[in-house]
Amino acid sequence: MGKAYYCTHCKAQLNVGNDIIFTVKNNKKNAGLLLVSPQVGDYSVKKDTLFEIEKGEHLEIICPVCHQNLHEGKVHENLAKVIMKDESGHESELYFSEIFGERCTYKITDKKLEKYGDDSMNYNFWGSEFDY
Query: What is the binding site for Zn ion (CB under 5 A)?
Result: 7, 9-10, 12, 63, 65-66
Q: Is 61 or 108 the residue whose CB approaches Zn ion more closely?
A: 61
Shortest Cβ 13–Zn ion spacing (Å):
10
Shortest Cβ 82–Zn ion spacing (Å):
10
- The set of long-range contacts for 40-48, using a CB threshold of 8 Å and a minimum separation of 24, is 40/84, 40/94, 40/105, 40/107, 40/116, 41/105, 41/116, 41/117, 43/103, 43/117, 46/19
Q: Is 4 or 113 the residue whose CB approaches Zn ion more closely?
A: 4
Shortest Cβ 11–Zn ion spacing (Å):
7
Q: Which of 45, 20, 24 is nearest to 102 (CA)?
A: 45
Q: Is 95 or 116 the residue whose CB approaches Zn ion more closely?
A: 95
